[in-house]
Structure 1
Amino acid sequence: MFKATPNPPEVDSTSPYESPDSKKLNEAAERALDHYLKPPPKQPEGRKPSRMFLVAPDMDNESLLAHVCESLASASVMTSDIAVYVDAPQRHTLLAIQQVIMLAELAVNRVLDNVDVLKAAPHS
């Protein structure tokens, strides 16, 4: 029987790494192939928040915390007012939400107390 290919197939006995020049050429070829065939993944763009409701960058922390405290107090009252008008399962959910709001309000109040203590502390 006649075979179209020799057994074993003839191979080129030269290695791309025989000399430093051929190694550099092979590395350059690999980089070129990688550049065109395997482009690096695009970096996702950073999240850009909406500027519709922007807090002034020069606001001090104490003013911001005071505003948060007032907002949480208002949310607590609104949640309590709504809980009066709903039935038991939803009322329990609303009262749980009110409790979470009150805990956040307590934490913010503690931070505000700590800020006041730091301001009142004498500097040496």
Structure 2
Amino acid sequence: MFSVVQSADAECVLANLSETLASANAMLSDLAFNLEGSNRHFAFGVQQMIELSELLANRALDIVEPRQ
């Protein structure tokens, strides 16, 4: 159904990954605040993993060779 265009360079892929993770983080945050108990804790745990992944993607974006 979905694929990444073969011509997409690392900077483009990482930028899109970072934006996707930021969106997922925002959506899960909104959801978590509407939950209670263990479901809320679970959602915040997943949100933390998304935030860590976003940090890694942003760091990779910082060190990737910029486009000419």
TM-score with structure 2 length normalisation? 0.91
Tell me how far apart the structure 1 counterparts of residues 42 and 25 of structure 2 sit (CA, whole Å). Answer: 13
1:33-68, CA deviations, whole angstroms, 9 ceiling, x for partnerless residues? xxxxxxxxxxxxxxxxxxx21211111110000000
Count of aligned residue pairs for this structure pair = 66
Deviation at 1:84, TM superposition (A): 1.1
Which structure 1 segments of 5+ residues have no match? Answer: 1-51, 120-124
Q: Percent identity between the aligned chains?
A: 44
Structure 1 segments of 4+ aligned residues over 3 angstroms from their partners:
none
Of Structure 1 and Structure 2, the greater helix share is in 2
One-letter identity of the residue aligned with 1:71: T
* Residues 3-22 of structure 1 mapped to structure 2, 5 A cutoff: none
Superposed CA RMSD: 0.9
Does 2:14 align with 1:65?
yes
One-letter identity of the residue aligned with 1:69: S
Candidates 55, 58, 74, aligned match of 2:23? 74
Does 2:36 align with 1:98?
no
Which protein has greater RCO, CA pairs closer than 8 Å, 6+ apart? 2
